[in-house]
Amino acid sequence: MSGFIYEKDADGIVTVTMDMNGPVNSMNEEYRQLMGDTITRLQEEEGLTGVVLASAKKVFFAGGNLYDLLAAREEDIPQFMQELDLTKGQLRALEKLPVPVVAAINGAALGGGFEICLACNHRIAWDNRAVQLGLPEVSLGLLPGGGGVVRMVNLLGLQAALPYLLEGTRVSPEKALAAGMIHETVASVDELVPRAKAWILENKDNEAAAVQPWDVKGHKIPGGNAAHPANAQMITAAPAMLFQKTRGLLPAPIKILDCAVEAARLNLDTALVVESRGLAELAITPEAKNQISTFFFGMNKVNGGASRPQDIEPQKTTKVGVLGAGMMGQGIAYVSAMAGIEVVLKDISQEAADQGKAYSETLLAKRVAKGRMDQAKADAILALIKPTAEDADLQGCDLVIEAVFENMELKHTITKDLQGYMAEDGIWGSNTSTLPITQLAEVATKPENFIGIHFFSPVDKMPLVEIICGEQTGDVTLAKAFDYCKQIRKTPIVVNDSLGFFTSRTFGTYLDEGMQLLVDGVHPIQVDNLGKAIGMPVGPLQVHDEVSLELTKKAGQTHADLGVLDQWGDGSVGRAVIATMVDDHGRGGRHHGGGFYEYAADGSRSLWPTLLDLYHKPETDLPAQDIKDRLLFRQVIESLKCLEGGVLRSVADGNIGSIMGIGAPVWTGGFIQFVNTYGLQRFIDRCAELEAAYGERFKAPAIVADKLAAGEIFE
């Protein structure tokens, strides 16, 4: 039987074990009914000495109902506020019981789950890495609306609470204990409820144990209220600092700051009302819809294996061969060894292979120096990496990842020469960013065991891997590649074969549109600034310098050699700019002596002066909104073409891939999700305006009109 299991022992302690319908406990209508009934029963309970709040699920409590939040519209706000008032009223009643209430936290308590814990007088957590605590609502475009903002400020103080609220930091029980978010930990889950009961009995004569700090007469917020000089100074500077970080594109951090400051000004119950209003305002924003859709529902689909063949048993990688010990190869070797996988790191010379292993040694040394790992663990990880120049050392690898230069002939040669060393059922993965997998697999003895595994640089930091299936790639091979990515703690998206696949193809349009704007005469600094203004991490010209104009030229030549055209086509504006910059002026990019910018020895950069002579037209006066839309819509349109053409297998893969691989603005929820909240008809209309003014590349893909006619959105 599901519900809240109510058990009273001989000492008068009631243990309420949450065991709601479904796989997790969550803050929905069932919860409100169960919590309301439980509060009433506790208030009427005779001989009550204390309450222990526990969970029968592996996750203590999963938080709010995101389906309801996703569906919320402006007309729903009155009902939304009523439900918030009811939820908060119940938690206030819980913490005002005349006996101590203890949270026995056996699993993750995030968002609403941790807000329930904050309403308990004492919080005990199982000291295990599976237990995460915190208030991550900001990552979904929301704020903690169950009292989290108000109680955290009153518990920790305004300045100490803000990082947890504004950054959505999830912490371990050990760190939560050190921060004052919980009171104690236990070594095993079986100790939780007994320890909670023991604490209640230890404090049976201590009336203060049943009173929350903020309900004590004369309560003062740690660090002072909003008028305290240190806080007043911070409050003045914080909005500007937040704007610098969010560029004004994310409303949630601003609203959280506002509610936190009000919590440091007002009494608790009034501050709770302000907090509710803040959540109601955020819940109906397009930014929240986008972030919830992608970062919760989309991420769950991707990580849950929606793109993985369902009928294939789990495939564990035990020995991986990495061919090429350069920037990509050394990163792949590191993340593989960190996951406990034996690695053979091969290059053309022993010296080059040793240098590749040294990269892992450097990263591990930094971990040891920061106290994040002991030396013995670091040594054990390093011992898993065998640097070599000998082909025979690849013998028995169940996965080989080739990570050499983007050259079809070179990759073909390596595949032919080395594929025979793999285990009989081993798979071959090519870390290519653009070359078609079907063509790469032409020399494979088992093309069904050949797949693309596209990592992003730097491999140790970038969370995404793009898996590319060739025409003959088998399901077992896909499952093996997918499971390997999960094994090394990366998020895998799965796409079908094409030139540039999804991420490189879409990212290329951002670089290209930057050059289009340059040729239109827009000042290059304005081009880059407006790229950042839409939420891209870096402007298109600056990031092109980092990627390398020289590399773009080589990629274009490779595409020509393959008999295919990239998105620029022959004689296009982008190709002409590359020819002028690289061939005529030797401007190959940052690591080739400079590109659109010049780079000083101290790392500073300045615009290459000749660039203005070549392209800037002072009389050009394009609307800033047009420039921003051109930079954004080019990428959105290309993403839609990838979905329409079957390169993308799912909307979720497109959204997660664009955020984590390309750097799509967080507020969009990904390039495809953006269209949903922008409005499909509005998107079609805006594309038509841009097409009329700037060219056919802005024509809305037919898939948008098809979805509109069917009354559907992209999901």
Q: With CA atoms as reference, report the closest residue to 18 among 33, 43, 35.
A: 35
Mean pLDDT, the chain cut into blocks of 10 residues (715 residues total): 88 97 92 96 97 97 89 92 96 98 98 97 96 97 97 98 96 97 98 98 94 96 95 94 94 97 97 97 97 96 94 96 96 98 98 97 96 95 98 97 93 96 95 93 97 96 97 97 98 94 94 96 98 97 94 77 53 85 95 94 93 96 97 97 96 97 97 98 98 97 98 96
- Two tokens, residue 572: 């296009």
- Cβ 432 vs Cβ 454: under 8 Å: yes
DSSP state of 49: -
3 state SS of 136:
helix
pTM for the full predicted model = 0.93
Residue 560 confidence (pLDDT): 67
Handedness of CA 217, 222, 226, 228 (dihedral sign): positive
How would CATH label the architecture of 504-646+679-709? Orthogonal Bundle (1.10)
DSSP state of 660: I
The Cα-based distances of 237 to 156, 222, 233, 243, 253 in angstroms read 20, 20, 7, 10, 14
- Two tokens, residue 212: 């929350």
Tell me how far apart the alpha carbons of residues 241 and 563 are, in angstroms, rounded to a whole number.
50
- Cβ 495 vs Cβ 458: under 8 Å: no
Gyration radius of the chain's alpha carbons: 28
- Cβ 515 vs Cβ 636: under 8 Å: no
Domain locations in the chain?
A: 3-284, 319-498, 504-646+679-709
Pairing of strands 605-607, 50-55: unpaired
Residue 65 confidence (pLDDT): 85
- Cβ 227 vs Cβ 264: under 8 Å: no
* Token pair 């802005």 in the structure block, residue: 698
The Cα-based distances of 400 to 104, 261, 325, 405, 413 in angstroms read 46, 54, 13, 16, 15
How would CATH label the architecture of 319-498? 3-Layer(aba) Sandwich (3.40)
H helical segments located in 520-581: 524-533, 540-547, 549-561, 573-578
Q: What is the 3-state secondary structure (H, E, C) of 584-639?
A: HCCCCEHHHCECCEEECCCCCEEECHHHHHHHCCCCCCCCHHHHHHHHHHHHHHHH
Tell me how far apart the alpha carbons of residues 687 and 692 are, in angstroms, rounded to a whole number.
9
Task: State the DSSP string of 303-338.
Answer: HTTTTS-TTSPP----EEEEE--SHHHHHHHHHHHH
At the topology level, CATH places domain 3-284 in 2-enoyl-CoA Hydratase; Chain A, domain 1 (3.90.226)
Residue 571 confidence (pLDDT): 46
Handedness of CA 129, 133, 135, 137 (dihedral sign): positive
- Two tokens, residue 88: 């908060």
* Token pair 């609470």 in the structure block, residue: 161
Helix (H) or strand (E) holding 51: strand 50-55
